[in-house]
A and B are shown apart, each in its own frame.
Chain A
Amino acid sequence: AQSVTQPDIHITVSEGASLELRCNYSYGATPYLFWYVQSPGQGLQLLLKYFSGDTLVQGIKGFEAEFKRSQSSFNLRKPSVHWSDAAEYFCAVVPAKTSYDKVIFGPGTSLSVIP
């Protein structure tokens, strides 16, 4: 079945440590890929997106993500986490060869940051 998975439900890191959040998708063709962040009590904000081209994409707030076709993955990274990065992170997919209107979200990864 077509799906978006985020294997880690919850991650805790120390402030200043590096971070990697995993995202895998199971669609036949390479979809369009997104990472969103949701701070407590807020709506979602786009961090970055991948459509084609360079497989390493840069986003806001110092985040980057790498698309790996062979692994059907789009993992989010940050070299040094700040306490303000504590939030819920969602990977999202727009399946290719569709009307491009349907957006499917993964279950999310909750990030806690230890001062």
Chain B
Amino acid sequence: NAGVTQTPKFQVLKTGQSMTLQCAQDMNHNSMYWYRQDPGMGLRLIYYSASEGTTDKGEVPNGYNVSRLNKREFSLRLESAAPSQTSVYFCASKSRGTGFTYEQYFGPGTRLTVT
């Protein structure tokens, strides 16, 4: 049981390049999330997916797109990277339904630098 996995762990991009961050969970959770973490800002929600086939914007969605590929996988895409997107990105998942506890489980993070 690996929990929440993220790839890659580190990435350096040039301004204007695109890339996709991958996230997968093996806990049969319905809800998945993408956050970015910046010093002094805490975690800010980029997008989330309450269930397979649905996605919703969070606090800072501009410059990002997401795909909920199936129940296990939720990817985050930067179409044209900008230096302001330099950050640590965390994926998380949570169970949903009767008796759910609302606890989120986090991946280890992806450290992205845009030059």
Contact = CB atoms under 8 A, between A and B. Distances in A.
B5 to A, nearest CB: 11
Interface string B76-115: 0000000000000010101010000111101111000000
23 contacts: A32-B102, A34-B102, A42-B109, A43-B90, A43-B108, A43-B109, A44-B43, A44-B104, A45-B106, A46-B103, A49-B101, A101-B96, A102-B48, A102-B56, A103-B33, A103-B45, A103-B102, A105-B35, A105-B44, A105-B45, A106-B42, A107-B42, A108-B42
B63 to A, nearest CB: 20
A42 B40 contact: no
Interface of A: 6, 9, 32, 34, 42-46, 49, 51, 90, 92, 94, 99-108
- Interface pairs A-B: 5 shortest CB-CB: A43-B106, A107-B42, A105-B43, A101-B50, A44-B106
Interface of B: 4, 31, 33, 35, 40-45, 48, 50, 56, 58-59, 90, 92, 94, 96, 101-104, 106-109
B74 to A, nearest CB: 13
A102 B42 contact: no
Given A44-B90, A101-B31, A101-B48, 11 more contacts: A32-B102, A34-B103, A42-B108, A42-B109, A45-B106, A49-B103, A104-B45, A104-B59, A105-B42, A106-B42, A107-B40
